[in-house]
Amino acid sequence: MANENTPLSSQHNTDPNGKDGKNNAKNVITAALVIALLGTWGYIIFDKNKTREHINQQDSTIVTTISQRDQLQKELDDATLHYDMLKTSNSMKDSTIMARDREIAQKRNKIQSLLSQENLTQSQLKEARTLIGSLRGDVEMYKQQVETLKGENLQLTREKEQITQQKNTVQKNFDSAQDVIRQKENIIDVGSTLHASNFEVVGIKEKGKKEKETSTAKKVDKLRISFDLDENMITQSGTKDIFICITAPDGTPVGVEALGSGSFTTRDGQERIYTQKLQVNYVQNKRQRISFDWKQNSKFSTGDYKIEVYNNGFKIGEAFRPLKKGGIFG
pLDDT in tens, 142-187: 778 777 877 877 788 888 888 888 889 888 888 888 888 888 888 8
- Is the model more confident about 1 or about 89? 89
Q: Is 196:286 a contact under the CB 8 Å cutoff?
A: no
pTM: 0.51
Tell me how far apart the alpha carbons of residues 319 and 201 are, in angstroms, rounded to a whole number. Answer: 8
pLDDT band at 99 (very low <50, low <70, confident <90, very high): confident
DSSP 8-state symbol, 16? T
User: Looking at the predicted structure, is the pLDDT value of residue 18 above 70?
Assistant: no
Task: Assign 298 to helix, strand or coil.
Answer: coil
Confidence of residue 120 (pLDDT cuts 50, 70, 90): confident
Mean pLDDT over the full length of the chain: 82
Instruction: DSSP letter for 247, please.
Output: E
Cα distance between residue 142 and residue 177, in whole Å: 50
- pLDDT at 225 > cutoff 80: yes
Q: What does the domain layout of the chain look like in residue ranges? A: 77-164, 196-323
The pLDDT, as a whole number, for residue 173 is 87
pLDDT at 172: 86
List the one residue out of 136, 146, 84 whose CA is nearest residue 111: 136
Maximum alpha-carbon separation in the chain: 229
The CATH code that applies to domain 196-323 is 2.60.40.10
